[in-house]
């Protein structure tokens, strides 16, 4: 294998920018477990969906996980009767509820991990229900107490904690974010009303209503924005709401009387249900101040009527329930009709092979991008959005001379220095190439890594202007392999290094080593959890959520941290391309081709 170290990461982030509602989506029918109907309840960063489905003969409903085109029956806690899956986190842990006893008298919350369903217990009573789980594995729901009342709970490290109420006898928790903030609903003092709450640092706060008596909160995002539904003044209608900065805002309807909001992502996109003007029950997407009927975003002739959208992830993928061919089925919608994240590619002695459709499989030159004429044997590849657009273009650093050649117009051809970029004053023989948006201006610039030192073209003019104008950083050491990416989802790329199976990533983007997060520092360290010595590192926004993640190329095989948790979770959750794209001796690249 060619062991010449190479790394490149393209700048791939759209984080921090407002989403515009895409003109169209693709839709996938998730099918059933053999019965008539299925319902989707949750989705994670990787696009895995959970819910429940009728089994063969419609004799029971079982929780399911849908991943990589396959719906898997999660079973039950008793082996008979029914179960339902409500939430799934980035690591693929699933929560829900299942009957336990043969007489169907007992319902218990469960956590499903590694093909094993584990009961979570109760608060002293008979029943419990789990609705949400965050990436730390904290679970929320409600359970009966010794007084036979239902109380919201948080389950952490084997302990179920009663969150109490807003003064009444009953409460329930529906969602939890990465910071541990919890939302749900509770009866108020005297049980005269039911109000949405947000629970933060041990305090349950009443979020109020839209003027009516009752409200319920269903979802919360990383910023603490809450969504749900509330009675309006006079209690004549129920409307979806968003609660942010202390204010509950009415999201309106699709022309009908009632609506509700179930989920909100980091970008502020909200999904739910609404009545239409003619009384139909339709799913919607709320984005940029607009509530749009999801049915209007489907391809023509899809055959679907989408009734409710239950969950949206940070890539904008939506899971819900609709009707097709007269049957109610769970669905998954993906915006743009194309791969949302970064795709892989390889450079082979002057030849490029880029995964244009993003499926991780070589589909031939008629489908993928394969070309020569840009670079030569011995060059080291790079890619970036040199023009500030949404696509990644190629480039090479000629290691023998330190010269750069950049495909500025993105036509995958060498058009000469008058059209493309030729930079002879940035880099030296033996340097390793990097690319990223070093100052957050929206387009990628070149850079080099030299024995633990970084020299980055901060002003983007392709010339070395000294450390006062460009960036000179010390991050890593000799023999490290460099990477770069917007690790925290911001506009500015941060540097990083891969060292014999260990990653050190400048998570806060300040160009300095600030210690590992697990040791109280600010940067990210992945100790042997992803990759091994001899791998070639790559990085990209594999799932389209706006953050760069790590990956490795090993003798023709790719392993990509699809959910971004920094650890290898197996091919069901992360991505494995076994010899399907590239071969031993190739040099890896990543980008949105």
**Which phi and psi angles does 559 have, rounded to 5°?**
-130, 115
**DSSP string computed for 534-589:** TPEEEEE-TTSSS--EEEEEETTEEEE-TT-SSS---TTTSEEEESSS--TT-EEE
Query: What residues pair up with 508 in beta bridges, in sequence order?
Result: none
pLDDT in tens, the chain (593 residues): 233 233 332 222 222 223 344 556 889 999 999 999 999 999 999 899 999 999 999 999 999 999 989 999 999 998 778 999 999 999 999 999 999 876 556 899 999 999 999 999 999 999 999 999 999 999 999 999 999 999 999 999 999 999 999 999 999 999 999 999 999 999 999 999 999 999 999 999 999 999 999 999 999 999 999 999 999 999 999 999 999 999 999 999 999 999 999 999 988 899 999 999 999 999 999 987 889 999 998 877 789 999 999 999 988 899 999 999 999 999 999 886 545 689 999 999 999 999 988 878 888 998 899 999 999 999 999 999 998 888 899 999 998 899 999 999 999 999 999 999 999 989 999 999 999 999 988 899 999 999 999 999 999 999 999 999 999 999 999 999 999 999 998 889 999 999 999 999 999 999 999 999 988 999 999 999 999 999 999 999 998 878 999 999 999 999 999 889 999 988 878 889 988 899 999 999 999 99
CB 53 within 8 A of CB 62: yes
* 435: alpha, beta or left? (left if phi > 0; alpha if psi -120 to 50): beta
Distance CA 347, CA 220 (A): 43
pLDDT of 510:
93
Token readout for 219 is: 């979802």
Sign of CA dihedral 417, 418, 421, 426: positive
CB 509 within 8 A of CB 519: no
CB 241 within 8 A of CB 249: yes
Alpha-carbon torsion, ordered 320, 325, 326, 330, to 10 deg: -20
Distance CA 548, CA 538 (A): 10
pLDDT of 438:
95
**DSSP string computed for 505-540:** E-TT-SSS---BGGGT-SBEEEESSS--TTPEEEEE
Residue 284, Cα to own-chain centre: how many angstroms?
A: 20
Token readout for 575 is: 């991505």
pLDDT of 22:
52
CB 446 within 8 A of CB 406: yes
pTM, two decimal places: 0.60
Distance CA 327, CA 36 (A): 7
pLDDT of 9:
29
CB 309 within 8 A of CB 273: yes
**Domains of the chain with CATH codes:** 25-38+101-106+117-335 (2.120.10.30), 343-591 (2.115.10)
pLDDT of 68:
85
pLDDT of 245:
92
pLDDT of 442:
87
Query: What residues pair up with 238 in beta bridges, in sequence order?
Result: 231
Tokens 């679907």 -> residue: 304
β-pairing, 281-287 vs 290-293, is antiparallel
Where are the extended beta strands (E) located within 157-303? 159-162, 167-176, 182-188, 194-200, 203-206, 211-220, 226-232, 238-244, 247-250, 255-264, 270-276, 281-287, 290-293
CB 179 within 8 A of CB 224: yes
- CB-based contacts of 328, cutoff 8 Å, min separation 6: 36, 37, 38, 39, 307, 321, 322
């Amino acid at each position: 294998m060619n062991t010449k170290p190479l790394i490149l990461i393209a700048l791939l982030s759209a984080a921090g920018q407002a989403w515009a509602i895409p003109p169209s989506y693709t839709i996938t029918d998730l099918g059933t477990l053999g019965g008539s109907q299925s319902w989707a309840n949750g989705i994670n960063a990787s696009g895995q969906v959970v819910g429940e489905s009728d089994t063969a003969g419609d004799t029971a409903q079982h929780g399911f996980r849908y991943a990589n085109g396959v719906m898997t029956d999660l079973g039950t806690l008793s082996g008979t009767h029914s179960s339902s899956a409500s939430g799934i986190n980035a690591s693929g842990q699933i929560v829900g509820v299942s009957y336990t006893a043969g007489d169907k008298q007992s319902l218990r919350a469960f956590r499903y991990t590694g093909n094993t369903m584990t009961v979570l217990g109760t608060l002293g009573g008979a029943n419990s229900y789990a609705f949400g789980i965050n990436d730390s594995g904290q679970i929320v729901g409600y359970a009966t107490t010794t007084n036979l009342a239902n109380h919201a709970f948080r389950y952490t490290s084997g302990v179920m904690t009663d969150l109490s109420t807003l003064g009444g006898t009953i409460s329930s928790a529906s969602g939890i974010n990465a910071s541990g903030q919890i939302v749900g609903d509770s009866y108020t003092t005297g049980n005269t009303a039911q109000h949405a709450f947000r629970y933060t640092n041990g305090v349950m706060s009443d979020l109020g209503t839209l003027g009516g008596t009752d409200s319920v909160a269903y979802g919360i995002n990383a910023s603490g924005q809450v969504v749900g539904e509330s009675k309006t003044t006079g209690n004549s209608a129920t409307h979806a709401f968003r609660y942010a900065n202390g204010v509950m805002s009415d999201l309106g309807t699709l022309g009908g009387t009632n609506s509700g909001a179930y989920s909100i992502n980091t970008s502020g996109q909200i999904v739910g249900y609404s009545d239409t003007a003619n009384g139909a029950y339709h799913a919607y997407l709320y984005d940029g101040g607009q509530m749009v009927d999801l049915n209007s975003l489907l391809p023509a002739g899809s055959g679907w009527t989408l009734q409710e959208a239950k969950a949206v992830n940070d890539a904008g993928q939506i899971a819900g329930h609709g009707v097709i061919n007269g049957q109610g089925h769970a669905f998954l919608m993906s915006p743009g009709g194309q791969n949302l994240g970064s795709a892989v590619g390889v450079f082979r002695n002057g030849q490029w092979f880029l995964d244009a459709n993003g499926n991780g499989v070589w589909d031939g030159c008629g489908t993928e991008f394969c070309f020569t004429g840009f670079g030569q044997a011995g060059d080291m590849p790079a890619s970036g959005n040199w023009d500030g657009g949404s696509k990644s273009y190629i480039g090479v650093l000629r290691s023998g001379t330190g010269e750069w050649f950049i495909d500025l117009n993105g036509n995958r051809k060498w058009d000469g220095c008058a059209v493309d970029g030729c930079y002879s004053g940035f880099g030296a023989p033996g340097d390793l190439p990097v690319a990223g948006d070093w100052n957050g201006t929206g387009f990628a610039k070149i850079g080099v890594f030299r024995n633990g030192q970084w020299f980055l073209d901060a002003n983007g003019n392709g010339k070395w202007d000294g450390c006062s104008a460009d960036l000179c950083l010390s991050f890593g050491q000799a023999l490290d392999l460099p990477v770069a990416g917007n690790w925290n989802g911001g506009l500015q790329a941060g540097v990083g290094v891969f060292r014999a199976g260990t990653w050190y990533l400048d998570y806060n983007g300040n160009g300095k080593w600030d210690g590992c997060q697990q040791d109280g520092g600010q940067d990210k360290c992945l100790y042997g959890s992803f990759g091994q010595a001899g791998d070639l590192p790559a990085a990209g926004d594999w799932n389209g959520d706006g953050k760069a993640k790590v990956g490795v190329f090993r003798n023709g095989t790719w392993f990509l941290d699809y959910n971004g948790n920094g650890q290898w979770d197996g091919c069901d959750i992360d991505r494995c391309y076994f010899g399907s794209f590239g071969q031993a001796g190739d040099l890896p690249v990543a980008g949105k081709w």
